[in-house]
């Protein structure tokens, strides 16, 4: 059984499988509440209690659906995603009392799972949060200053773009900026992704698409070149980035890598950005063209930065209690769960089974799933039908 998470189609869509599940979890989408906290209560810092109340109600609605399935269906694996912890820390970092309220509600839900099931339970996160960053590193502006990026209108156009965006970010309320972004990003019924969602930065206003290099996300750079030129330009940028310092004298970039240094091929390797980077301490990467490479962070608008350290806790008959933290990575989660439910781990997986946390010491079984899937390649007609479907759904 699968229920689509956020962002997902509306309540009337086929966002569940099998279709018979739809009636049983009616109200799961909580569309009216979701719309209010995302569209009407912006910025959330102006309405911290109501935004938290809504987030708790959405959590409770969806968790009741999960518990209804958990109590009536036989299954070997169940997963429930709690999105409110991420949503609220993005928006209400400066309101710890509201964050604490939501965490208590989430903790109560997890407690019900422990009381209901006799199996093993994991609680984990994909990342953590830490204190607000001090500086915005305007990476596209840096690329422009270094000669890698071009702006419409040349030098004069660049000045107009920088001045306009700088003034807008300083003096225009967040909710109005969101409305402008909605227009720029063609937010409509056909293209419903709201501007707060992590869309690509490749379409930053004013930046020419044929620039040698431009920001693709808060942690990536795309190079408009191939072969030896691409590698030369990428290595130049990486080398120069490592020497950039904030006005406080700290590194702006902690580390940077070529894509091939992190990912060893694969069918989608050509779609990867060319450079991945990790921002320095108290630094947030921003794509906008401004009057300077760095600016002071507005804690009221951001108020947090992601941290690489997450949470992974376990409880149950097959979990070996640990008094000390164990060294694990998010890519270890899937192999560990597969091993626990008796499914061979894919040989292509980069993660490893965290046997240190398991009471079961049985050997890990593996299988070459990639080899087995190659035997049933879709025909060109099937692929074209799939592309058309993805395009109609708005994914292409």
Reported as a single tens digit per residue, the pLDDT across 139-184 is 999 999 999 999 877 667 666 766 776 676 666 665 555 455 445 4
* pLDDT number for residue 339: 95
* pLDDT number for residue 152: 79
* pLDDT number for residue 66: 93
* pLDDT number for residue 363: 93
User: Could you tell me the sign of the dihedral formed by the alpha carbons of 185, 187, 189, 191, in that order?
Assistant: positive
* pLDDT number for residue 258: 95
* pLDDT number for residue 256: 96
* pLDDT number for residue 168: 66
Name the phi and psi angles at 66, rounded to 5: -65, -45
In sequence order, the β-bridge partners of residue 129 are 306
Look at residues 294, 275, 305 and name the one whose alpha carbon lies nearest to residue 127.
305
- The whole-number mean pLDDT for each consecutive block of 10 residues of the chain, a chain of 396 residues, reads 79 86 86 88 93 97 91 90 92 92 97 91 91 87 94 72 67 57 45 39 78 90 94 96 94 94 78 91 84 77 71 91 80 95 91 90 89 62 80 70
* pLDDT number for residue 249: 94
Can you give the residue ranges of every domain in the chain?
Answer: 1-117, 135-298, 300-396
- In terms of DSSP bridges, do strands 16-17 and 2-3 run parallel, antiparallel, or are they unpaired? antiparallel
């Amino acid at each position: 059984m699968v229920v689509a998470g956020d962002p997902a189609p509306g309540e009337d869509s086929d966002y569940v499988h099998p279709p018979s599940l739809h009636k049983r979890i009616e109200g799961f989408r909580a569309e009216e509440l979701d719309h209010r906290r995302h569209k009407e209560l912006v910025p959330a810092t102006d309405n911290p209690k109501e935004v938290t109340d809504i987030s708790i109600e959405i959590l409770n609605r969806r968790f009741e659906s999960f518990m209804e399935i958990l109590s009536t269906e036989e299954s070997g694996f169940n997963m429930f995603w709690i999105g409110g912890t991420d949503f609220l820390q993005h928006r209400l970092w400066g309101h710890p009392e509201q964050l604490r309220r939501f965490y208590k509600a989430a903790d109560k839900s997890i407690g019900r799972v422990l009381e209901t099931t006799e199996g093993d339970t994991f609680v984990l996160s994909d990342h953590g949060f830490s204190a607000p960053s001090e500086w915005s590193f305007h990476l596209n502006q840096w690329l422009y200053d270094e000669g890698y990026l071009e702006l419409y209108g040349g030098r004069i156009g660049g000045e107009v773009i920088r001045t306009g965006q700088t003034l807008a970010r300083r003096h225009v309320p967040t909710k109005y900026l969101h409305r402008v972004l909605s227009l720029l990003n063609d937010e409509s019924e056909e293209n419903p992704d709201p501007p707060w969602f992590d869309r690509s930065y490749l379409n930053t206003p004013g930046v020419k698409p044929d620039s040698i290099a431009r920001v693709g996300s808060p942690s990536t750079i795309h190079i408009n070149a191939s072969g030896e030129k691409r590698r030369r330009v990428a290595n130049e940028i990486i080398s120069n980035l490592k020497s950039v310092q904030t006005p406080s004298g700290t590194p702006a970039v902690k580390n940077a890598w070529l894509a091939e240094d992190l990912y060893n091929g694969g069918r989608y390797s050509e779609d990867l950005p060319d450079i991945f980077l990790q921002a320095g301490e108290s630094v947030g990467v921003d794509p906008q063209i401004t009057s300077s490479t760095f600016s002071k962070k507005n804690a009221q608008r951001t108020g947090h930065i992601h941290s690489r350290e997450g949470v992974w806790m376990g409880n149950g008959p097959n979990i070996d209690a640990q008094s000390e933290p164990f060294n694990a990575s998010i890519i270890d989660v899937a192999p560990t769960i597969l091993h626990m439910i008796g499914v061979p781990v894919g040989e292509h997986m980069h993660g490893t089974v965290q046997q240190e946390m398991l009471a079961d010491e049985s050997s890990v079984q593996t299988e070459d799933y990639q080899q087995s899937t190659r035997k049933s390649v879709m025909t060109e007609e099937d692929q074209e039908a799939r592309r058309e479907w993805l395009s109609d759904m708005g994914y292409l």
